[in-house]
Amino acid sequence: MAANSAKARKRHAGDSPSSVYVLQSDASDEDEFAHVGSSQSSQSQSQTSLDRSEMGVIEEIYCENFMCHRKMVVKLGRNINFITGENGSGKSAIIAALQICLGASARTTHRGKSLKNLIRNSDQGEQPRKGTDAFRPEQFGTRIQVERLIRIEGTAEYRLKDMDGRVVSKAKADLEAMLDHLNIQIDNPCAVLDQENAKLFLKGDPADKYKFAHLEEKLVSVKHHLAWSFVRVKETECETLREELEQCQTKADGYKKHMAKYQAQVEALTADQHHLNESLELETEKLADLDKQQQELKHRQRQLRYPQQIKEAELDTCKGQRRDCKSERERVGARLHSIRDQSKNR
């Protein structure tokens, strides 16, 4: 059993294209994967100024190993699109791919009881592709990757990953939030009318058809009430923030008074510091003068000691000569005494 995929690209705010990927199980693990990538413009002003008709427009559907399609790309326009072909050519598979990609169950497509029944047999799968879409950039960054894991026993789960591949959430509610953000109601026949529902619609009586229109009107009314509820919540939050702002303003006024008092103290201390700096400069100048005088006195002392050192050197020389003379005198006296002794003996 080969990996299957279906991809639907949607136009989003700021003409930033986005893509939705669905990949389903391969022969090794019998799993299916669904990948949703999302990216959006960094400027919110361009989003709000964009016409509402540009939000959630399906631009392209890509199927790979899905139902009867090996690989197929269907490019769609902004307005009504007609898909024609012979019976069995795979027209309904395109609608089923869109529904499955955006979170519908297999029973909703009327093409199988389980998602594993939508896998094209006897083909080798490929690695998941990455795409882009604009949804919650503060959580997911510029790219969202939604992985749908469908096991052969029929269990399934969603994995929402950020642009770096880290799992952020496993809740289907996040996918539903994205669909609500793009105003896509995948299970609503007013949004997606598959072949089986179309047959029922054609065979139904006017009362049943009126129910569909009435359902759409009720949905619009619910959204209208929801919007006003959101406005009331925001008004309450704004009132609370206004009260907090007034309290902060009162505190700020009190802080300003204290700041003026502290500012006067700072100015007084600054003046004292300036005066002390001037005194320090004067004392430094005096110390420099004393050092200069000390150096001059040392120089004068060296000059006065120089003649004394010369005389002391001469005195040392004379003392040395005196010692030499004394030694010579003693030597001569001893010699004379010896001569006298020799004369007496004769």
Contact 3, 120 (CB under 8 A): no
State the residue for tokens 């169950």.
105
pLDDT for position 67: 77
DSSP annotation of 184 reads -
**Lowest mean pLDDT, pick from 7-11, 22-26, 199-203, 314-318:** 22-26
Contact 170, 74 (CB under 8 A): no
Distances (CA, A) of 151 to 93, 96, 102, 107: 21, 19, 18, 16
Contact 37, 19 (CB under 8 A): yes
Contact 32, 1 (CB under 8 A): no
Task: Tell me which residue of 36, 15, 56 sits closest to 184, measured CA to CA.
Answer: 56
Q: How many Å apart are CA 94 and CA 100, to the nearest integer?
A: 10
**Lowest mean pLDDT, pick from 89-98, 227-236, 319-328:** 89-98
Q: pLDDT (tens digit, 9 = 90+) per residue, 301-319? A: 888 888 888 888 888 888 8
SS3 of 34, please?
A: strand
User: Which amino acid is located at 250 in the chain?
Assistant: T
Side-by-side strand order, sheet with 4-11: 33-37, 17-24, 4-11, 57-66, 69-75
pLDDT for position 282: 92
DSSP 99-137: HHHTT--HHHHTS-SSGGGGBPSS----PPP-----S-H
Q: pLDDT (tens digit, 9 = 90+) per residue, 96-123? A: 877 877 777 777 777 777 777 777 764 4
Task: Tell me which residue of 91, 20, 22 sits closest to 59, measured CA to CA.
Answer: 20
State the residue for tokens 């399934």.
156
DSSP helix, strand, coil percent of the chain (3-state; round to 5): 55, 15, 30
Tokens read off for 20: 């939705």
pLDDT for position 166: 84
Q: How many Å apart are CA 128 and CA 143, to the nearest integer?
A: 15
Contacts of 46 (CB under 8 A, 6+ apart): 13, 14
Contact 14, 56 (CB under 8 A): no
User: Which amino acid is located at 340 in the chain?
Assistant: R
Contact 99, 114 (CB under 8 A): no
Q: pLDDT (tens digit, 9 = 90+) per residue, 161-198? A: 777 888 888 888 877 887 776 666 777 776 777 777 77
Q: pLDDT (tens digit, 9 = 90+) per residue, 120-146? A: 764 444 333 333 445 666 776 666 666
* Prediction pTM value: 0.32
